[in-house]
Structure 1
Amino acid sequence: MMKITNIQANCGDSFLIEDTDDPRKLLLDCGFKFTYQYKIKQLTSSVDYLILTHSDEDHIHGAIPLIEETPHKFTVGKVYVNVPSSYEVGAEGGNISIHQAITLENLLNKKEISYQGLLAGMTVNISENISLEIISPSKEDLEYFINKYKEVKESSSPDPISKTSIIIPLEELAGNKDAYKSKKSDFTNAASIAFILKYKDRNLLFLGDAHPTVVTDYLEARGFSESKRYAFDYIKLSHHGSVTSISEKFISMISCSNYIVSTNGGKARSMHPSRETLAKLALNVERNGGNDINFFFNYPVEEITARNGLLISSEEMNKHKIKLIEQSSFYIK
């Protein structure tokens, strides 16, 4: 059996993946510093694999104290992270967390912890039953990201998502055009590591903050399309369910009834998940696990709606067979 824990990291990401038939563990992202201090350390004091999907602070910041406490208070085996060998950049926190990435890379070298990058097409074997098929980033997108890192002067702006009292019907939202940014303007997320986790005969898609076109390009190259969809048991939504991280083409190429969301609702003008994302999936995606479509949250739905507004009304849930479920642990047989 495989256990997945969607660790509470406020508006960040952190997942602990364990094979109960094998002692090896995978930690996927570390959220913020408090995520490590108050959440990760309560679950485990060692992992065999650590994957940091990209350099946004809500994914990478918690890895800094984790590495600082290695090996005396925490032990870590192999680290996978895409970082350039050096930077000459001036930036202040925010979405492109240059300073945290530099600190992390220096710490890994100081502690003599081996690390390597991941590119689309690679395979990582976690245990006898668990393997990862890397689908993002492409070599070209990673190279562009590294070059741009040296030019960036300030962090990118957050998604223009804010709380509103105007409730737009799901049917209208589901028909909206794609809202994702170009890869060149969203190069940090275009370089995000994403993978298909294969456990026995199960397929789970972990998207990190991956750009939708990178994902669909990979799936298309593998022969998947609207007439030949990739069936997933679970999908961890990209960028906490942001509307800028999903596309009509992606929805047309997959079949899935279960979606995992990692967020407490977000903050300021960057609030997640987007009601539009949920609408597009609920009304347009092919369901492969029964009549219902399920969205799993690692924070109370009431807390999320209080922060960023209505997600799905009870009437809409009944009409479209949508379930909002508060669940942070998953057991996959």
Structure 2
Amino acid sequence: MNSMEIFFYQAGCGDAARIRYLGNDGKYHNIMIDSGYSRTYSEILTEQLNEIERKKECIDVWIISHIHDDHIEGAVAYINSVKRGERKDIVDTWFYNAPRQPKHKNSKGRDNLISTPASIDNGDKLAEYLNSIGKLNTTDMTTESPNINLYGLSLIVLSPDSHKLRRLREKYPPGSGNRLQRIEDEMTSLVSAARGHDYHKPLEAFALDQWIEDDSVENGSSIAFLINYNDKNVLWLADAHPSLIVESLIKLGYNRKNKLTCEWVKVTHHGSKGNNSNKLYDIVNCSNYLISANGTNRHCLPTKECLARILRNENRPMETEYKLYFTYDDTILRRIFDVDSTIVFKKYNFHTLYLNGQKYLKTTL
């Protein structure tokens, strides 16, 4: 029986993951999803890439969801190491929507991308490198893209749509000199993160009927997708806006009565309150939720409000035990439910799991 391994890497309050699976060609394939910070590359991804090389495998696809450093910086560290000759490039294909409208190499091999001194941020660096080696996407990855089959693994893009990608490029036109937003600022999108931890509030104290969606242009441009392998689904949400995810899933035929059954959900935007909605969890049936965040990040993520929307969803099957997996184990994460009586774990049929003493969580489907 074919199997798939999923690696969720520690990336601070960022995303980095890998899928390894046996393809229908009888060979093992790897998909890298985001890359965390540069320290994620040096402390974790380097040894993972070395292991892939030892097995004489490659990264078939590296997906970079969007331009924030907590998703892209590790990939830039990788290409810098390739440029310095420290390692060979083992990535076959990149899925990445350049933040500035790309002009690809012409037939004479000349670089027509971004030739402006402003092109110094990580999002531009990755685009320029990929263009220089002829691996920058010739078409955007959006909800209009056809379903992708990767040796028996199906990938369906749920975000962004062309409108959200256009908003990104309107914000960063070529030659404008506009610096790309590298680190998400609370002033950019106050609803996307908490002003402080909300762990002092009991799980049942959150008014789930009140909600404002994240308005970050960069988060909205995230590549989010659904993968299917051997009839098992995994939902990868990056930092995407949930309203578009819901819209995309409804177009696929999912709703409250016909829920999308998943083995795992990579919770969007590290468990922020503005990126996790009731409507999203209304139509998802899953018992394993991965929150990629540590407890010391300045945005105070994950929010307890996000976890309340997962656990208290009115359309949730209460007989199903929910598991909340955190990529770190620290005193802040451990105290999320301290204010609640232990009865809350039984009432809402869930428990929490923390990554203690390891650099990544590995699971096999």
> Do Structure 1 and Structure 2 share a fold, with TM-score over 0.5?
yes
For 1:127, the equivalent position in structure 2 comes to 151
Task: Measure, in 2, the Cα distance between the counterparts of 1:285 and 1:98.
Answer: 47
Say whether the 8 Å CA contact 1:124–1:132 is kept in structure 2: yes
Q: Which of 70, 77, 81 matches 1:69?
A: 81
Change (3 A) 1:111 1:88: closer
Cα displacement string for residues 134-160 of structure 1 (whole angstroms, at most 9, x for unaligned residues): 111111221122112237668463244
2:36 corresponds, among 31, 43, 48, to 31
State whether residues 29 and 52 of structure 1, in contact with CA within 8 Å, keep that contact through their aligned partners in structure 2: yes
Distance 1:35 1:19, change over 3 A: same
Distance 1:58 1:285, change over 3 A: farther
Instruction: Give the alignment partner of residue 49 of structure 1, picking from 46, 58, 61.
Output: 61
Amino acid at match of 1:319: K
State the SS of the aligned residue for 1:243. coil
Partner of 2:11: 9
Residues 1:324 and 1:137: Cα distance change in structure 2 (over 3 Å) = same
CA RMSD of superposed structures (Å): 2.9
Say yes or no: does 1:58 pair with 2:86: no
Greater mean alpha carbon deviation, residues 108-117 or residues 62-71: 108-117
Residue type at the aligned position of 1:68 = N
Q: What residue number does 1:324 align with? A: 352
**Partner Cα distance (2:285, 2:250) in 1:** 14
Q: 1:291: how far off?
A: 2.6
Q: What secondary structure, in the 3-state scheme, does the structure 2 residue paired with 1:70 have?
A: helix
Q: Secondary structure at the match of 2:130?
A: helix
State the partner residue of 1:105: 127
Instruction: Identify the match of residue 163 of structure 2 among 132, 136, 140.
Output: 140
3-state SS of paired residue (1:146): helix
Task: Give deviations 1:181-219, integer Å, cap 9, x for gaps.
Answer: 3xxx42211111011010111011000111011111112
Match of 1:79, as an amino acid? W
Please give the alpha-carbon distance, in whole angstroms, between the structure 1 residues aligned to 2:142 and 2:341: 40
Q: Could you tell me the TM-score, scaled by structure 1's length?
A: 0.86
Q: Which amino acid aligns with 1:7?
A: Y
Q: Secondary structure at the match of 1:267?
A: coil
Residues 138 and 166 from structure 1, CA distance in 2 versus in 1: closer, same or farther, beyond 3 angstroms? closer
- Higher mean alpha-carbon deviation, 192-201 vs 97-106, is at 97-106
> 2:97 matched to which residue of 1?
82
User: Is contact 1:90–1:153 with CA below 8 Å preserved after alignment?
Assistant: no
- Name the amino acid aligned to 2:90: T
Instruction: State the distance in 1 between where 2:362 and 2:332 align.
Output: 19
Structure 1's 139 and 288: CA in aligned 2 closer, same or farther, altered over 3 A? same
- TM (normalized to structure 2)? 0.79
- Per the TM alignment, residue 87 of structure 1 is displaced from its structure 2 partner at its CA by 6.2
> SS at the partner of 2:41?
helix
Q: How many residues matched?
A: 321
User: How far apart, CA to CA, are the structure 1 residues paired with 2:90 and 2:66?
Assistant: 21
- Cα distance change, pair 264–293 in 1 and its aligned pair in 2 (3 A): same
Contact 1:135 1:193 in 2 (8 A): yes
Moved more, 170-179 or 136-145: 170-179
Which aligned segments of 4 or more residues in structure 1 are displaced greater than 4 angstroms? 86-91, 151-156, 285-290, 308-313
- Kindly provide the amino acid, as one letter, of the partner of residue 331 in structure 1: T
Q: Distance in 1 between matches of 2:34 and 2:180?
A: 23
Query: Which residue does the alignment assign to 2:323?
Result: 294
Aligned to 1:278: 307
Say whether the 8 Å CA contact 1:8–1:299 is kept in structure 2. Answer: yes
Gaps of 5+ in 2: 51-57, 103-112, 187-191, 356-360
